Amino acid sequence: MSVVVVAPGQGSQTPGFLEPWLAESSFADHLAELAEAAQVDLRTHGTVSDADTIRDTAVAQPLIVAASLLAFRAVAGDRRDALAGVAGHSVGELAAAAAAGILSESDAMVLVRERGQAMAAAAAQVATGMSAVLGGDEAELLARLDELGLSPANYNGGGQLVVAGELPALAALAENPVAGTRVIPLQVAGAFHTRFMQPAVDHLRSVADDLAVTDPRTTIWTNRDGSAVTSGSQFVDLLVGQVANPVRWDLCMAAFEQAGVTGLVELAPAGALVGLAKRGLKGLPTVAVKTPDDIPAAIALIEEQSIESHA
């Protein structure tokens, strides 16, 4: 087989992370195009904005998708046919959709702008948040969530489940955790991928209806259930609905394994998905593209695994 390229979700951004990218004019020009489409000052937010500013959902989401698109063009280039496919975690699905040719980059940036703004507005209606829960028995944890009125939001695999809901319920879970678990509050502004995001879904459906959508040019897996989707319109429908439904990254990783994927490259701002792969896909070669310095290693992995798959 060959390498899957994956795009990270919200929370992967850090202050100044785009600085090394903008030292090269080709990346700076590309970012300017993406910023114009999104109508967001991505250069400022990726270089000088502080952690609180880029934690804002309406800023974070366009910033992350733009960074992934910068990295994808550099890593994939004319090697797209050598890839096993693409996938994105949460908002990363918009970068994956553009990488697969389902959406143009500009339409992906329009959709992510609307997604970020709509999710921020939905999050402002009720004080909600998210926490990562590590370890423990999943069935026991899910029963405890039900008692507290919390919801599973991201099934990340490798013994990590992100849960979401109202802040007092999250505090109760942290104060009295399920046996064998560790609860870590996340720095996000709402209960994403739960019923609290339904107003955002309704808005995004109307936005998506006006976009030009084509079928994917490469394999793309969905967060909904880890399946490969061959219809562009179906994928867009799923990524819109996914705003208020759990991310099944565990099933995506299982699908990669079943498909015989032999390597994984994570696009900027990278790190989180490579970490999950190290626990859920033990032994799989990975590259996290955090800066342009990581691009040669990513290209080498893609070319090496492509040659081996055709040997």
Which residues, other chains included, contact 114 with Cβ-Cβ below 8 Å and sequence gap of 6+? 203, 204, 207
Which residues, other chains included, contact 236 with Cβ-Cβ below 8 Å and sequence gap of 6+? 97, 102, 103, 208, 211, 213
67 to each of 51, 268, 273, how far by Cα in Å? 16, 5, 15
Is residue 193 annotated as part of the catalytic site, yes or no? yes
| Residue 270 amino acid letter | A
Contact status, residue 27 vs residue 19, Cβ threshold 8 Å: no
Question: Which one of 89, 193, 203, 306 is the catalytic residue?
Answer: 193
Is residue 30 annotated as part of the catalytic site, yes or no? no
Q: 185 in the Ramachandran plot: left (φ > 0), alpha (ψ -120 to 50) or beta?
A: beta
240 phi/psi in degrees, rounded to 5: -70, -50
3-state secondary structure of 11: coil
Strand ranges across the sheet with 128-135: 181-185, 128-135, 160-166, 151-157, 247-248
Question: Which one of 2, 12, 90, 151 is the catalytic residue?
Answer: 90
d(CA 244, CA 199): 9
Residue 125, classified by CB atoms within 10 Å of its CB into exposed (0-12), middle (13-18) or buried (19+), is: exposed
CA dihedral 272, 298, 62, 239 (to 10 degrees): -70
Q: Which residues are catalytic?
A: 90, 193
